[in-house]
Amino acid sequence: MGELVRSLPEGEQVRGRVCGVTLLADELYLLRDKGCDQVEVYDVINYRLKRHLTVPNDGVTAPGICTVADMTSCTHYRCVYISHHIGNCIHRLDAQGIFTRWAVNDEPQGLSVNAAHNVIVTCRVVRKIKEFSSDGNLLHELILPDDVIHPLHAIQTHSGQFIVCHGDLGDPVHRVCMMSSDGGRIVHSHGGQSGSHAGQYDVPVRLAVDGNESVFVADRNNRRVTLLSPTLEYVGQAVSRDQLKWQPRRLCFDPGRRLLYVAENEWKDGKCTAGRVVVFSV
């Protein structure tokens, strides 16, 4: 089980749910769903807030409405990607602080970067995985099987297979699957009917993978993070329900420091009232 190291931000809770967390060049990027200053940048040594960044609206939605869904980073191109699920687009932030935007043409949800430094975009509604180059050229598009309903996040392994978590409220199956490289076949899976037992999930919303390709799963409504082997066998709870105050929504793993960043949000009466990132040594 992971050991609590730090919680960000310290002190008072900050309004605005956390929609993404990623690392780039010894800095921690935290994405909030609010009208401006959505991106908070911290150093990873003492977690001091260094600066804010605002994702350009570009006329995608009405002013003051922010509908960002996820964030990831690429060390090769030294940039951060942000998915905008109302505008059906990806924002790219480079090391010079310049934003560019390219279209997905479907609603994007989870983001990751593969070994070829391309962007893996999970499209929840249409059950697709799309691979884009860093400048937004569509390279591949995979349609997942009919029983993979509402995929929320996908990560491509070094062997080319995809690890996908799927299952939203009301769906019959909530699980983590390892898909073949063409997306058409399930190789391994963990989970099934929604529930709270060790072999079950209740909205497995995001994934993170360590250097050995063991898998961390943010189990949103069960308020925990599950650890699976590279072949998706159950290992244990990386973060237990007792170690979290709210619902885990996003994950980021630092392989060098063996730190797991868990973004959790507080929900009251159907609304998000606060969000933070909690750091665990695993």
pLDDT in tens, the chain (282 residues): 788 888 886 444 455 788 899 999 999 999 987 767 689 999 999 899 999 888 886 555 544 445 788 999 999 999 999 999 888 999 999 978 889 999 999 999 999 999 999 999 999 999 999 999 999 999 999 999 999 999 999 999 999 999 999 999 999 999 999 999 999 999 999 999 999 999 999 999 999 999 999 999 999 999 999 999 999 999 999 999 999 999 999 999 999 999 999 999 887 776 767 788 999 999
DSSP 14: B
pLDDT for position 92: 96
Contact between residue 149 and residue 171 where contact means Cβ atoms under 8 Å apart: yes
The answer to whether the beta carbons of residues 124 and 111 sit under 8 Å apart is: no
According to DSSP, the β-strands at 138-143 and 151-156 are: unpaired
Cβ neighbours of residue 81 under 8 Å, at least 6 residues apart?
Answer: 71, 72, 73, 74, 90, 91, 92, 93, 111, 113, 119
In angstroms, the CA 214 to CA 212 distance is 6
Which of 133, 107, 204 shows the shortest CA–CA distance to 164? 204
Boundaries of domain holding 14:
3-281
**What b/e readout covers 145-181, taking b as 16+ CB neighbours within 10 angstroms?**
eeebbbbbbbbbbeeebbbbbbbbeeeebbbbbbbee
How many independent structural domains does the chain possess? 1
- CATH number, domain with residue 104: 2.120.10.30
Q: Is 243 helix (H, G, I), strand (E, B) or coil?
A: helix
Residue 216: the pLDDT is 98
Pairing of strands 68-74, 79-84: antiparallel
